[in-house]
């Protein structure tokens, strides 16, 4: 499997040995790109991890794709709006001092990165849809507070009673 590289190849080169050990693949970096050799399922996961690192995620976060069966998705802002002022849209997604991305990360339990007009998301399959919908809503002009409120209302409640306790019967 060959991955086309644009930049950030030096990050991969620095941690190549660690990635090879964790991902169970051989990584070959040359002028054509990055080649992976190993079992097909390992190559696929390694490709996703390397894509995430090249997108801008820190290596420990990108490695969650393997260790915790997380997904890595990229949303292109241009696909969800007709507006041409992408700088303003990027600013709305990032928020003042990165506050919007941090809040979205806390509410969805996903990791976010911005790269030009793209938003990278790493998260569990259960939370990925919520994270994508939240970013798309902000891109389309929804107020951040409304998006946060929606995410808070639709938080999954932890199951406290699994029904394993015996119930006491009433005395007659």
Per-residue pLDDT averaged across 72-84, rounded?
91
pLDDT of the residue at 162:
63
Residue 169 lies in a domain: no
Residues 78 and 29 in one domain: no
> pLDDT (tens digit, 9 = 90+) per residue, 34-64?
888 888 888 899 989 999 998 989 999 999 9
pLDDT of the residue at 5:
56
Domain count, the chain: 2
Residue 164 lies in a domain: no
Residues 95 and 137 in one domain: yes
pLDDT of the residue at 3:
65
Rounded Cα distance between 78 and 84, Å, is 9
Rounded Cα distance between 57 and 121, Å, is 9
Residue 76 lies in a domain: yes
> pLDDT (tens digit, 9 = 90+) per residue, 111-162?
999 988 999 999 999 899 999 999 999 999 899 999 999 999 988 776 666 6
Residue 63 lies in a domain: no
Distances (CA, A) of 52 to 56, 84, 154, 167: 7, 27, 28, 49
Report whether 95 contacts 144 (CB < 8 A). yes
Whether residue 21 is predicted with pLDDT greater than 80 in this model: the reply is yes
Residues 87 and 147 in one domain: yes
Rounded Cα distance between 100 and 106, Å, is 10
Tell me the percentage of the chain whose pLDDT exceeds 90.
49
Q: Domain range for residue 146?
A: 71-153
Residues 48 and 80 in one domain: no
The CATH number of the domain where 140 resides is what?
A: 3.30.1370.10
């Amino acid at each position: 499997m060959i991955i086309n590289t644009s930049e950030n190849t030096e990050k991969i080169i620095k941690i190549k040995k660690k990635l090879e050990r964790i991902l169970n693949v051989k990584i070959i970096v040359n002028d054509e790109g990055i080649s992976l050799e190993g079992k097909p399922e390992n190559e696929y996961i390694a490709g996703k991890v390397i894509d995430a690192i090249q997108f801008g995620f820190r290596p420990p976060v990108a490695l969650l794709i393997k260790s915790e069966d997380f997904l890595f998705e990229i949303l292109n802002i241009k696909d969800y709006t007709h507006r041409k002022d992408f700088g303003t849209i990027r600013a709305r997604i990032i928020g003042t001092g990165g506050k919007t991305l941090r809040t979205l990360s806390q509410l969805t339990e996903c990791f976010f990165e911005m790269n030009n007009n793209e938003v990278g998301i790493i998260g569990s399959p259960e939370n990925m849809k919520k994270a994508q919908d939240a970013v798309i809503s902000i891109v389309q002009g929804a107020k951040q507070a409304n998006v946060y409120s929606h995410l808070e209302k639709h938080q999954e409640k932890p199951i406290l009673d699994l029904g394993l306790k015996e119930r006491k019967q009433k005395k007659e």
